[in-house]
Amino acid sequence: MLIITYGSNITKNTYDTLTASDICAYLDASHSVSLKPNLVVPGPASNGAVTHPEVVEGVIMFLRDYGVRQVKIIESSWVGDSTKQAFKYCGYEDLSRKYGIPLIDLKADKYTTLEHSGYTIDVCNEALNTDFLINIPVLKAHCQTRLTCCLKNLKGCIPDNEKRRFHTLGIHKPVAALGATIKTGYCVVDGICGDLTFEEGGNPIYSNRVIAGRDPLMVDSYCAQLIGYMPDDIEYLSFGKKIGVGNYYSEDTQIIELNTANKPVARAYDKNAADRYCGVIDEDAACSACYSSLIYALQRLGARAHPNGKIHIGQGFKGKSGNGIGVGVCTQGFSKCVTGCPPKATDIVEALR
């Protein structure tokens, strides 16, 4: 079952979405509940990168009315950014004060090492010790995985060193394995105005919808199609299906739509902006923060080729040298390098110019 509600009254729509869902078949009022939004960077949700606090508020209101009293918000921003700053600038400190709900920075949390599908993964204890995890991602594009939604959002439940290591492992399969390792109680997707170019935001597309469902793979496979991809176009979805994370959305999936009068006009969205720059990038295990800085710079420049050849980026270039251009501290052996971990897009723009 998937529930989709349309409209600009975000808090009410989120509450109504959960009311119409089957969440109560799995949730008990005595449960401790952890809410996991996507606060990848500090900034307003209107930029299309982070979960609207109004969506989380709608979830909190539903939980309170259902009788749940043990609620936390847990998150870890991407490598190079502060979760505490994200809590502040994304509006979550206000939410915490209003409802008396603690904000847990997973960057400071201890972790447990687990194994699934041949991958050992360090997972933050707060994500494991809760009775019921509600995953509240943003539906948006990603510069390396094309889609980021429910399964990819769980990457915020691992330590920063583990986030870096995921990229050395190829990102897709460990993300799927993580989705099989962390038990998700329910998914509530912020589909208000996700960026359909890359995960840092800046180019939001307003769809004004909230999507909810129990199975994270089903939700993700449905959302992939909303932004122009078949589920098998997303490698971590196809691997997730293979290892039993869940099931794909199909014609047999029950869909309940609310407020359909506010439904956005269907349109074909552009493919991920990162696809347009594959001819200029030589990537080897790059972290998302570094990679998206490069994509942003290339978008600013409109560059699909460079006179000095491909631009090298990623942890795979540590200790290597060459005459080309490198982006990020891992490529400091190249003759020209934009350092930083991650580097600023403005510095990359200047260097490429």
Q: What is the pLDDT of residue 299?
A: 75
Residues 125-139, mean pLDDT to the nearest whole number: 97
Q: Is the pLDDT of residue 156 over 80?
A: yes
Domain boundary among 262, 288, 310: 262
* Domain extent at residue 28: 2-262
pLDDT of 266 above 70: no
DSSP lists the bridge partners of residue 136 as 37
User: How many independent structural domains does the chain possess?
Assistant: 2
Q: Is residue 273 part of a domain?
A: no
Q: Which tokens sit at 309?
A: 């050849």
- pTM of the shown model: 0.85
> Which residue's structure tokens are 């099931």?
247
Q: Are 232 and 283 within one domain?
A: no
- Range name among 20-29, 131-140, 304-313, 327-336 with the lowest pLDDT average: 304-313
Residue 30 lies in a domain: yes
Least confidently predicted of 3-17, 19-33, 141-155, 335-349: 335-349
Q: Are residues 50 and 123 in the same domain?
A: yes
CB atoms near residue 30 (< 10 Å) = 10
Confidence check: pLDDT of 268 > 50: no
CATH of the domain at 58: 3.40.50.11440
For residues 178-205, give the mean pLDDT.
88
Inside any domain, residue 241 = yes
Q: Are residues 105 and 253 in the same domain?
A: yes
Is 39 in the same domain as 132?
A: yes
Query: Which pLDDT value is given to residue 342?
Result: 81
Mean of per-residue pLDDT scores for the chain: 90
- Whether residues 253 and 282 fall in one domain: no
Q: What is the pLDDT of residue 269?
A: 46
